[in-house]
Amino acid sequence: MEGDARRERTLETCPEAMRVACEALAVSPLAICVLDDELRVTDCNEAAHRLLSGTDPTGQVLTDVLPLRDPQAETDHAREVRTSGVASLNRLVRTRQTRHGGSRTLSLSLFPMPPDQEGSGLICTLADVTPDEEDDCGADPLRRLAAIQNEVGDTLDHDTTCTELAEALVPSAADTVVIALAEHLTQGEPPPLARHHLEPLCPIACSGAPENGHIWPADQRPFAPLLAARAPRATDLVADTRWLDSEPAIERLLREAGAHALLAAPITRQGTVLGMLLLYRGETPAPFSREDIALVEKVCAHTARCLDHARSFHREHTIALAIQHSLLPRHPPTGAALDIADLRLPGEESGGGWFDVMPLSGARTGLAVGQVTGFGVRTATTMGELRTAGRSLATLDLQPGELLARLSRTTATLARDRSAAQREEKTARTPLRAGCTYAEWDPLSCEVTVARAGGPEVVLVRPDRTVDTIATPEGPYLGGPAEPIPSVTAAVPPDSLLILHTPGLTDDPGAVPGLLRKALDRLPSSDGVDPRALCDELAALLTSHPRAIEAQVLVCRVMAFPGERVATLSLPDGPQAAEAARACCEQHLREWGLDEDTRFNGQLIVSEFAGNAVRHGAPPARLRLIFDQALTIEVSDSGGNAPLLRHAQEGDEGGRGLFIVSQLADRWGTRYESGGGKTIWAEVDTAEGEQGSE
């Protein structure tokens, strides 16, 4: 504070000091501009005039007279400096290549002036810190080529590659540049089979075009011989008249473009024309030399490789997405206790995310979400193999941890097959890495059992909209070490949401609950949360910026199973067990309104199950009937002997029971309970269930 006051007193009492300071700034080699609140230049010194190619910037917005590569970012930064009052020192910025010179690197500093001062705004200082080798690279063709290649092909996007090429060639190689691509590239189609067929060319990018100049021909036929020969051609209005005499349309194009020289070069790859490059010289007096033609030939070869890679990437990306979509369930099954919605958030790496919803015995449902890292067709097909393997394992009624352990062994086999194929094909070796989270929802006990192998935790949203995760130990990734994968069982209040997702949902796994709270706050608070509405809000929050990795989300609203559609009966230990089971089955199937054939088949099945439990099982035995989209008949006992389907001979008195069950039921099987014992079950499709599935 004392220093500021001393400086103010010195300037007030010593006008000579002020005059000397102003003269020093005027002759300073550092470019200095005074900006108002709208970033218009109100004053500048002689060095600023020189830096801006001799133009007077007074009254113009700084970003309009300074060809910055990202003017919007610098405008936002300047306004932030003005608002915060904190100076920004030595910020390195790059300029675009212009007609008057190549790209430059500038050191930019911004100093806010006091807001109460007249003409308040910013003081901007600029210094050209472009390395010398960048200024001298135009003299060496190899360095010119390296500089252009460094600017072109950073992305796998056709339009961006063409724009980069146009900006890289102006003004170092030409005053005006136009790049056009073949029609099959712009439409994402494969190249034509007939090599002699010349496709229409569509202009994609242009740089340095003169105002009101006509630089692209309406009739492309004069360039047909050039494209057929796959070789560049240069012409000049003065020195070369042979091509112009034979093709007056070319001479007319040159004059309409305000140019005296033209260099036309095809962009080809393995004999296929991908596009064409037109370079004009108007202000530059020299015609195109042999060195220029050789340079452009190499630039076209580099650009063709970039365009071909982009085409291959987009083609494989499209095929992978089509495979992925075809392998995912289109209409996930739902029942009386489940409402499901799914969301896919695309990313730059895609093709490996999957989800599945698998109906299990006893009205239970298996929920799986997994991710295969990478992208492309190979990743998409691997995803399909893992999803199919997981669905097959789910039919065995395994515990979630055991299911993932077996799926991990399947993944290890797929990984060995992939490595062998890559060795034979001599392609880059990319290890197979996959993760999966599997949950099993039981609406009769209102419990969920979760296991995860390299996948994120399941998120629980309770009816009061509190968000939590179901704490589950993380097992090794699929295909990793052969270790046991633990399962965790948790009670879940009815009308809660279970949310399974892949790791790509957020960069920070701990931020997922906060993200869901933000999405829930955007929904009406009066009713329960609709899974589809929550997916819509998540999509609105997460699709504003491009994603590096795709994300798959499965939102499940879980409900308790209707009690009036479940019947249980403890079976007596003895021959009367079958009679009691038949009577219970007849009573409840009649109450549920099932037809006579279903009731008859149901009585035969429960009679066989009850008889097997008495003869081959261990007491106590229990019958349970569940009527959802199908009728499920279950008989449980404490024994561990699994029933076997036999084909009885003509003279056998027994052994036909389970064979009869297999003919009457649509599905049947055995599952072992975690506490001991077994349950043999059968499902019979009903007319109501068939109508619901339609």
Per residue in 377-392, pLDDT tens? 788 888 888 999 999 9
pLDDT for res 428: 59
Among 217-226, 434-443, 644-653, the range scoring the smallest mean pLDDT is 644-653
pLDDT for res 406: 94
pLDDT for res 76: 81
Our measurement of the distance from residue 660's CA atom to the centroid of its chain's CA atoms, rounded to an integer in Å, reads: 51
- Distances 34 to 40, 125, 272 between C-alpha atoms, Å: 8, 9, 55
In whole angstroms, give the CA distance from residue 370 to residue 355.
6
Asked if residue 685 has pLDDT above 70, the reply is yes
pLDDT for res 196: 54
CB 343 within 8 A of CB 538: yes
pLDDT for res 587: 93
- At 472-493, the pLDDT tens digits run 999 999 988 888 899 999 999 9
- For the CA atoms of 337, 339, 340, 341, the dihedral, rounded to the nearest 10 degrees, stands at -170
In whole angstroms, give the CA distance from residue 75 to residue 73.
5
Q: Are strands 496-501 and 488-491 parallel, antiparallel or unpaired?
A: unpaired
| 349: helix, strand or coil | strand
| 551: helix, strand or coil | strand
What is the residue-averaged pLDDT of the chain? Answer: 81
- At 19-33, the pLDDT tens digits run 545 566 666 778 888
Q: Which residues contact 216 (CB under 8 A, 6 or more apart)?
A: 178, 180, 203, 206, 278
* 171 cis-preceded (ω within 30 degrees of 0): yes
Residues found in the chain: 694
In whole angstroms, give the CA distance from residue 297 to residue 510.
52
Q: Which residues make up the CATH 3.30.450.20 domain(s) of the chain? A: 25-130
Show the CA angle centred on residue 507, arms to residues 309 and 516, nearest 5°. Answer: 125
In whole angstroms, give the CA distance from residue 185 to residue 640.
64
DSSP string, 84-117: H---EEEEEEEBPPBTTB---EEEEEEEEPPTTS
CB 152 within 8 A of CB 165: yes
Residue 445 DSSP class = T
pLDDT for res 672: 85
The tally of CA atoms less than 13 A away on the side-chain side of residue 533 is 12
pLDDT for res 668: 87
Among 74-78, 226-230, 326-330, 663-667, the range scoring the smallest mean pLDDT is 326-330
- At 531-549, the pLDDT tens digits run 999 999 998 888 766 666 7
Sheet holding 566-571, edge to edge: 566-571, 621-627, 630-637, 678-685, 667-672
Q: Which residues make up the CATH 3.30.450.40 domain(s) of the chain? A: 136-316
CB atoms within 10 A of CB 674: 9
CB 249 within 8 A of CB 235: no
- Distances 448 to 262, 394, 639, 671 between C-alpha atoms, Å: 72, 15, 25, 17
Asked if residue 369 has pLDDT above 90, the reply is yes
The sign one gets for the Cα dihedral 525, 527, 529, 535 is negative
Asked if residue 194 has pLDDT above 60, the reply is no
In whole angstroms, give the CA distance from residue 137 to residue 147.
8
- First-to-last CA distance in the chain? 82
Among 12-16, 271-275, 593-597, 643-647, the range scoring the smallest mean pLDDT is 12-16
The tally of CA atoms less than 13 A away on the side-chain side of residue 629 is 18
In whole angstroms, give the CA distance from residue 171 to residue 145.
14
CB 206 within 8 A of CB 212: no
Asked if residue 349 has pLDDT above 50, the reply is yes
The greatest distance separating any two alpha carbons of the chain, rounded to the nearest whole angstrom, comes to 129
pLDDT for res 103: 66
Higher local confidence (pLDDT), 63 or 690: 63
Q: Are strands 41-44 and 31-35 parallel, antiparallel or unpaired?
A: antiparallel
In whole angstroms, give the CA distance from residue 569 to residue 624.
6
Our measurement of the distance from residue 515's CA atom to the centroid of its chain's CA atoms, rounded to an integer in Å, reads: 18
**Mean pLDDT confidence for 251-277:** 88
pLDDT for res 266: 92
CATH architecture of the domain covering 136-316: 2-Layer Sandwich (3.30)
pLDDT for res 444: 92
Superfamily of domain 328-558: PPM-type phosphatase domain (3.60.40.10)
Asked if residue 441 has pLDDT above 90, the reply is yes
Higher local confidence (pLDDT), 672 or 213: 672
Higher local confidence (pLDDT), 313 or 622: 622
Q: Which residues make up the CATH 3.60.40.10 domain(s) of the chain? A: 328-558
- Distances 1 to 6, 8, 113, 114, 346 between C-alpha atoms, Å: 9, 11, 17, 15, 56
Asked if residue 566 has pLDDT above 70, the reply is yes
Helix (H) or strand (E) holding 411: helix 400-425
Residue 339 DSSP class = E
CB 297 within 8 A of CB 141: no
CB 435 within 8 A of CB 372: no
pLDDT for res 693: 40
Amino acid at 427: T
- At 123-143, the pLDDT tens digits run 898 888 765 544 444 445 666
- At 384-420, the pLDDT tens digits run 889 999 999 998 889 999 999 999 999 999 888 888 8
Residue 470: pLDDT band with limits 50, 70, 90 = very high
Amino acid at 574: G
Q: What fold is seen in the domain 25-130?
A: Beta-Lactamase (3.30.450)
The tally of CA atoms less than 13 A away on the side-chain side of residue 266 is 20
What is the 3-class SS of 205-249, one letter each residue? EEECCCCCCCCCCCCCHHHHHHHHHCCCEEEECCCCCHHHHHCHH
Asked if residue 78 has pLDDT above 60, the reply is yes
In whole angstroms, give the CA distance from residue 418 to residue 372.
13
Query: Of 269, 237, 265, 268, which is closest to residue 250 (Cα–Cα)?
Result: 237
Residue 501: pLDDT band with limits 50, 70, 90 = very high
pLDDT for res 550: 81
Q: Which residue's entry shows tokens 């540049």?
A: 177
The tally of CA atoms less than 13 A away on the side-chain side of residue 524 is 5
In whole angstroms, give the CA distance from residue 307 to residue 156.
8
Higher local confidence (pLDDT), 328 or 74: 74
Q: Which residues make up the CATH 3.30.565.10 domain(s) of the chain? A: 563-693
pLDDT for res 197: 58
CB 454 within 8 A of CB 475: yes
563-693 CATH choice from 3.90.1330.10, 3.30.565.10, 3.40.50.1100, 3.40.50.720:
3.30.565.10
pLDDT for res 410: 92
Asked if residue 251 has pLDDT above 90, the reply is no
pLDDT for res 675: 74
Our measurement of the distance from residue 592's CA atom to the centroid of its chain's CA atoms, rounded to an integer in Å, reads: 47
pLDDT for res 449: 96
Tokens of 415: 């990984």
SS3 content of the chain, % helix, strand, coil (to 5): 40, 25, 35
Residue 651 DSSP class = T
pLDDT for res 648: 46
In whole angstroms, give the CA distance from residue 212 to residue 214.
7
CB 483 within 8 A of CB 520: no
pLDDT for res 142: 63
